[in-house]
């Protein structure tokens, strides 16, 4: 099926202003431009270390709970502790730049 022809509206044309004489800079835009950051944020070395340690300990605690190698046998408290460690690892990951 063929497309209908485009309509031309009288008075329409260029949306942005045309540049002036050769070499003139274009007019300043009225759109918001966010400021350029002066420096890039860099996290301290301990942030990723703590993140990976918490994630690893949480995973290890859950694994050892299911295998039954933790004192007191399998317990939901170990499972909740492991999930808590993983949660704090994820929270720490949000602070990593």
How far is residue 28's CA from residue 94's CA, in Å, rounded to a whole number?
A: 37
> Does residue 17 fall inside a structural domain?
no
Tens digits of pLDDT across the chain (97 residues): 788 887 766 665 666 656 555 556 666 777 888 888 888 888 999 999 999 999 999 999 999 999 999 999 899 999 999 999 999 999 999 999 8
Whole-number pLDDT of residue 36: 83
Query: Does residue 53 form part of some domain?
Result: yes
Residue with tokens 């008075």: 11
Number of domains in the chain: 1
76 in a domain, yes or no? yes
Whether residue 36 lies inside any domain: the answer is no
pTM of the shown model? 0.61
Q: Does residue 26 lie in a domain region?
A: no
Q: What's the CA gap between 69 and 86, in Å, rounded?
A: 20
Domain that holds residue 78: 46-93
What is the token pair recorded at 44? 């301290």
Output b/e per residue, 16-46; b: 16+ Cβ within 10 A.
Answer: eeeeeeeeeeeeeeeeeeeeeeeeeeeeeee
């Amino acid at each position: 099926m063929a497309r209908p022809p485009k309509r031309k509206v009288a008075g329409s044309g260029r949306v942005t202003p045309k540049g002036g004489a050769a070499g003139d800079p274009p007019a300043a835009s009225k759109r918001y431009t966010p400021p350029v950051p002066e420096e890039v944020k860099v996290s301290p070395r301990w942030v990723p270390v703590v993140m990976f340690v918490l994630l690893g300990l949480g995973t290890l605690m859950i694994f050892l709970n299911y295998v039954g190698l933790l004192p007191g046998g399998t317990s939901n408290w170990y499972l909740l502790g492991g999930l808590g460690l993983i949660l704090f690892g994820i929270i720490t990951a949000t602070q990593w730049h």
